Amino acid sequence: MKKEKLSKLKVDIDYIDPKTMQKVCSFNQCIDKFTVQSTEEITTYPKWKGGDPLIKTSHFHVCSECGRKHRSKTDIKKNVSSFYEAAAGGGNELNRTKKEIE
């Protein structure tokens, strides 16, 4: 996984263990341990019509030590553009196979 530098937050996020309710770590403590990850999701759009399946890519950062996930502004922008690309049919594997069949 490649590293993409995240910037520290002014108001730090504390990660709490749900069993002990104690602070485990914080975002600013783990900032150098985050790596970029992406997964492909298959969704249907529009949902109310039982529409066509779309393959979109979800981008996020994962701490290599504690496994916490975080979506930066860049990740959110990539997710939105991935959705639009999949909805428009560009870059979508499922749509490419449909076009190849026709």
Residue type, 43: T
Contacts of 47 (CB under 8 A, 6+ apart): none
pLDDT in tens, 10-53: 898 888 888 999 988 888 888 888 888 888 877 776 666 666 77
CB-hemisphere CA count at 13 Å for 50? 0
CB-based burial label for 25 (10 Å; 0-12, 13-18, 19+): middle
- Give the pLDDT confidence of 43-94 residue by residue, as tens digits: 776 666 666 777 788 888 888 888 888 888 888 888 888 888 877 765 545 5
